[in-house]
């Protein structure tokens, strides 16, 4: 039997990794280059990635069988890949060790690679540039097939959930318009935590790392224009144990976490919570604190790559009598959902508002309130060119 070449190992490993997650990525020179930069010339690690080709999540015994290696050797190699951002290795609730192959992004290799403290290496720069190149290639594919993808965009599940700011710049609570008592709510519906304080209180294990979006943009020579704080990417529970064990984050107390969260709000950042498989009935795994300038979710939407798919329980509402038309909310809105009307008053596009409360927090005259009500916000990426273009 002929020996498999290193190049073929990279290609077949890329084929497996690129299938993971919500979005499949093309297997090409760029995605293979990402594996070369992140894994290195380590044949046994590439072979272990290939062992996940039929089942992306495996127990210790299953991985030993699919890889053809003993349990000890498979665990050792998987441990190395975990530190490189390719594998999530934590025991299940029943205590069984489970190995899960991660996607290139959301949440996977890209996030973990840029979540730890940067060292300014050539590898970091090369990897950041390769991801950017891959996104541009995906954008071209999306734009060339835009009409065919619109139905997919409109039915895509929410990637994350917005948790609104709770106080204004003066420290007073943002005004909330309660949900109508007449509105029917399914009996089985369980409202997820609607404040940062509620989420933090649920977890005994909390880890914080650096914002991978702002760090990656910085590596590309595009530092955050808002000069937002960077150490505010949170993971909880099992995810916290994983990120801390691999050196991507460090454990913090509830008090430290709340302090960092408040600093994020003061900087105008948006709390974005993530749930397993986008199921909001399950506990949060992580929270990003996103700026309008660097957030990959927002930038990939604006750049015509992916739709913006979000779940929220709030909608910004402008009191036209109080609004003075200063435009602060227009400037700060991350989804460009606010504009000035003919009377030079702020108005909100309900279909584009994901209820982050940043506009309400920074309104100098408290003219913006948040109305309760569960919504799914899906905003199509802009059409940048025709199919023929």
pLDDT in tens, 116-155: 999 999 999 999 999 999 999 999 999 999 999 999 998 8
Task: Dig out the tokens for 216 from the structure.
Answer: 């990656």
pLDDT in tens, 314-366: 999 999 999 999 999 999 999 999 999 999 999 999 999 999 999 999 999 99
- Omega into 188 within 30° of 0, i.e. cis? no
> pLDDT category, 182, cuts 50, 70, 90?
very low
Task: Dig out the tokens for 276 from the structure.
Answer: 């397993």
Burial degree of 68 (CB within 10 A; 0-12, 13-18, 19+): exposed
Checking if the pLDDT of 13 tops 50, the result is yes
Checking if the pLDDT of 278 tops 90, the result is no
> pLDDT category, 189, cuts 50, 70, 90?
low
The number of helices, as runs of H, and strands, as runs of E, in the chain is: 15, 14
CA-CA distance, 341 to 152, in Å (whole number)? 32
Residue percentage of the chain with pLDDT more than 90: 82
pLDDT in tens, 205-231: 999 999 999 999 999 999 999 899 999
Q: Which residues lie below 8 Å from residue 169, measured CB to CB, with a gap of 6+?
A: 266, 361, 362
> pLDDT category, 389, cuts 50, 70, 90?
very low
CA-CA distance, 145 to 330, in Å (whole number)? 32
> pLDDT category, 183, cuts 50, 70, 90?
very low
Checking if the pLDDT of 171 tops 90, the result is no
Domains along the chain with CATH numbers = 6-144 (1.10.10.10), 146-379 (no CATH)
Checking if the pLDDT of 184 tops 60, the result is no
CA-CA distance, 270 to 166, in Å (whole number)? 11
Q: In what order do the strands lie in the sheet with 250-252?
A: 176-177, 368-379, 308-318, 160-163, 270-274, 286-290, 233-236, 206-209, 250-252
Model-level pTM greater than 0.85? yes
């Amino acid at each position: 039997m002929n020996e498999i070449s290193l190049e073929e190992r990279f290609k077949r490993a890329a084929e497996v990794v690129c299938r993971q997650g919500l979005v499949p990525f093309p297997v090409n020179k760029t995605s293979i280059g990402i594996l070369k930069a992140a894994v290195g010339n380590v044949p046994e690690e590439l072979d272990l990635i290939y062992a996940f080709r039929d089942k992306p999540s495996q127990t210790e015994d299953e991985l030993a069988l699919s890889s053809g290696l003993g349990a000890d050797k498979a665990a050792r190699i998987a441990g190395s890949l975990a530190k490189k951002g390719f594998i999530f290795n934590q025991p299940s609730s029943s205590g069984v060790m489970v190995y899960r192959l991660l996607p290139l992004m959301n949440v996977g290799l890209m996030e973990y690679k840029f979540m730890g403290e940067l060292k300014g290496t050539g590898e970091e720069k090369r990897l950041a540039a390769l991801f950017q190149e891959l996104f541009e290639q995906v954008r071209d594919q999306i734009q060339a097939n835009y009409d065919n993808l619109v139905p997919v965009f409109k039915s895509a599940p929410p990637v994350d959930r917005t948790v609104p700011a709770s106080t204004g710049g003066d420290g007073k609570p943002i005004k909330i318009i309660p949900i109508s008592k007449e509105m029917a709510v399914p009996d089985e519906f369980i409202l997820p935590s609607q404040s940062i304080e509620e989420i933090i209180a649920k977890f005994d294990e909390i880890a914080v790392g650096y914002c991978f979006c702002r760090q990656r943009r910085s590596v590309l020579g595009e530092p955050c224009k808002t000069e937002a704080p960077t150490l505010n990417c949170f993971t909880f529970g099992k995810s916290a144990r994983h990120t801390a064990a691999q050196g991507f984050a460090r454990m913090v107390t509830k008090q430290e976490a709340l302090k960092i969260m408040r600093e994020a709000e003061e900087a105008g950042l948006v709390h974005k919570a993530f749930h397993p498989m986008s199921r909001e009935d399950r506990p949060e795994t992580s929270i990003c604190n996103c700026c309008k300038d660097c957030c990959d979710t927002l930038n990939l939407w604006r750049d015509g790559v992916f739709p913006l798919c979000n779940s929220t329980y709030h909608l910004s509402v402008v009191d036209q009598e109080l609004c003075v038309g200063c435009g602060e909310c227009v400037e700060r809105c991350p989804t460009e959902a606010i504009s000035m009307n003919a009377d030079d008053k702020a108005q909100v596009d309900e279909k584009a508002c994901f209820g982050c409360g940043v506009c309400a927090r920074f309104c100098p005259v408290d003219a913006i309130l948040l109305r309760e009500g569960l919504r799914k916000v899906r905003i199509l990426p802009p059409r940048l060119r025709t199919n023929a273009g």
